[in-house]
Structures are given as C-alpha cells and as structure tokens.
Structure 1
Amino acid sequence: MPIAHADYIAGMAKGLAVLESFDTQRQRLNATLAAERAGLTRAAARRHLLTLAHLGYLETDGSWFWLAPKVLRFSGSYLASARLPRAIQPTLNRLAGLTGYSFSAVVLDGDQVVIVARSGSALLAYGLHLGARLPAHATSTGRVLLAAKSRSDFDAWMRGRELPRLTAHTTCDAKAFRALIAAVRQQDFCAAGEEHELGVHALAVPLRDMEGRTVAALNVVSTAQGLDPGALQKQMLPLLLEAAREARALL
C-alpha cells in the first residue's frame, strides 16, 4: 500500500532487505555479499547483520551470518492467525488422503509464489515445503494467479521483466508467455510440466472467495514416480475444481 514519505522508516526497510537476502541459493552471507544483495554499502550491511545477530535473528561465526530459528516467529504467527491456511488445510488433508498426492495452497508475492498451506505425501517434490518460494512464471500456481490479474495489472507485472530459464522446458519468451497466461485465463486452470524442476508436473486452479476474487491457487504435484501429465489432468482436475467450489464459502 502507498505510504507517506514522513511515515517511511528507511532503517527498518534496509534491515528487512538484509534479512530477505538469505535464501536457498545463499544460506550464508558475509557483509560484502549482503551489501550486494540488499543494495547497501558494505558498512551499512555489516551494521544491519550485527544488529540482527544481536537480536537473535541471525547466527554468526564472526565473518559469516546465517538465519537463526527465531525468524520462524514471523511465519509461525502468520500461519496461526491468517484465515486462508486454517480454512483450506482440511481440504488439502482430505485430497491427500483420497489420492496419496501432495496438494498445496499458494499465494502470489511479487515475482514469486509462496506455499502457505500443504498436505503431506510420500510423493513430494524437492523444495515444496511450507513457506517455500518459487518463481511465478514457471509454476502452475503462479500462472493461475497471474491470469487472475486484470490485463493492465498483468501488463505492469510483465513490463521490462525477464523470465529466467530454469529447465529446458521453461517458457521464457515474453510473447509466448502472454499467450500462455491468456489461455490459462480462458480455461481457468493451468498444467505445467517440468518448467520449474525436471520430473515434476503440476496442475492448479484458482481459489476464489464469495465475491469472486482469486485469493490463492490450489495445486497438486506429481513426480516422475507418479501420474504422467495427461493422467494427472484427467484424474485430478475434477477433484481440484470441486474442492475449490467447496472452499469458496470458507474464504
């Protein structure tokens, strides 16, 4: 949301930028790397790292820093208080129990999607844990959520954006990607095969509230040991659509 300049706390924004610099690609950072990732000077990044370590959000050996368990307070509070994860969890559990596959509820956050609720399953692809962040352009859920945007908002999201290639199957061409989103918007579901991770196929549908607003995406994932893409869509799409209809009153 917009904020008045006088209300903006630059120091807090910089500290959060340093905290967000840690991810699965860079689990440990020194001051130089944190500065590059957060867009700060090395001296400023070092002060923020030391402060975060002092507060218990980071651990350090004196030169390198990494996330401490205390950062889970934020996600734990969200998952305990947010309506969406609590409302959709029984549906995810029921679907998983019925099929043996892994189901997730996912929201859009900038150029990534975030898993906010998921079922357990033996057929779970690597990295699809609760809280995982995945590139929106290469995932079935991301495409469903992008298709839910107005055309002007989607154009703004696409403006000047590169679509990184993650596998040989990733759609990276902007024109082709726009056509793909248009198709998702028309058919109201998305199937994605091996675009984010080789051997992983996924199918997603929008989760809408009673006013018709798309608040999340519901998806199912199949690995190389599970259903092929055609069978996944044939067997799982009716279940996903029915689950989304049933969940509407809860959202």
Structure 2
Amino acid sequence: MPIPLLEYIPSSQNTRVKGYEVPGDEQPRIFSTDNLLSSSQITDLIEAAYRQIFFHAFASDREKFLESQLRSGQITVRDFIRGLCLSNTFTNSFYNLNSNYRFAEHCVQKVLGRDVYNEAEKIAWSIVIATKGRAGFINDLLNSDEYLENFGDNIVPFQRRRVLPSGASELPFNIKSPRYDAYHRRQLGFPKASWQAAVRGYKAQEKQPKAGDPSLYLSMAKSLGSVGNQPQSISAYNLDYLNLVPRR
C-alpha cells in the first residue's frame, strides 16, 4: 500500500502572490495548443517544452514519436510533458545523477514551475518516489490540482512569476539548480573556475580622478621606498641595566 503524500505547509513565495503585472521582456511567453494556427507555431511549442524539461535537446535527445503524436492531436501537451519526464534522456541526465530529494526538487521546478516550498515538501515527494516509483511520482505531479489550475492539458509549463515587484527577477531554474550537484561534479572531475587574466572594470567618467587628486601620485609615492633610520639590533646581553635605571 503506497504511503499518501505527507502534508507540508506552503511558504509565501513569489509564485503564490497574485498581483498586477505589466507585460515586458521578462514575462514568460505562454505556449498553448488552444491558439495554434500554423505548423511553425506547434514547432515553437515543442521547442519550449524541450527547453523547460531538458533545458536543451540535442538531435539524439528528441522524442520523434511523441512529437508526431502531438502534431497530429493524438496526445495533449500534458501527455507530451509526461513522456519527456519519463524519457531515457531525462532519466540519464537527472534521475540517475541525483538523490531522490534533488530529483524531486528538479521535477517541481520543471513541471510545476516553482521552487519547492521547504525541506518538508522535498521529503514528502521523495517518499512518493520511493513508494510509487519515478512514473508514479511524475503522474502525481501532472495530475495535481496545482498543475491543472495553472497549465491544464494544453499549456507548456513555465517558471511562474519570475519578475518581483521591486523590479528584480528570480534566477532561471537551470542556473539556480544545475543538472549535476556538487558531489557529482567532484566525481566527474569538473574543472574549477580559474581566472588567468586581470578582470577589466568600468569606472564612470565623473568618478575618475582629476588633476591634483592625491590618488594619482600613489604609485610615485610607493616607488620612493621607505625613508628613515633603520632600527638597530642590540642584544639584551650588552645592556647595562644598572646605569640605564634612572636614579631618584
């Protein structure tokens, strides 16, 4: 008997706050089969699904059979997302290279379009993976009320509410949660970032030193070297303490 999904308290995240948003470049483009008019638009929808689940799909990663079914209307977008999450590419790239906790975090980000609320949610979904398997876990995500309310059967999942009211934006999931965690990066021998050249910076013209500024003469002052008497090294055995002590 599978263990039911444990209860967890949803955190107050950006995706749960409703607000008025002005359309802009940071707003995600919604791909749906409800308003497709040409074959090129269904191609754009398929590419958006690959970017959401795989981040990038090579020619060997593409699921031609699923694409053909989606183009002919035999399956919905939700079924296409299910097929991508259960494909060999997603299995080898995410499921086999991460723990159940991290795999659950990946799937919540890619399928539900948001971050996990807390550690309790990761533990709850990891139990589902352990009891129902990977396919049962993916089905529970795609059949959840949260997915159906936000994406339904015809909308490709996307990162929800990425733009914050302050004007800043959340990091994309592929940058925030890379495919390999720190443990697997060490095992695979990923090179560490090393800077071999000086990093050039830009300084505004009004902040650049002008004539007479002391900072312009800093390099010249350093080149002069130290000026003054060198300290004398006197041994403690050569000191006459009786004559050095002042008399009263």
TM class, shorter-length: under 0.3
Which structure's relative contact order is higher, taking Cα pairs within 8 Å and 6+ residues apart?
2
More strand by share: 1
Task: Please report the TM-score for the alignment, with normalisation by the length of structure 2.
Answer: 0.23
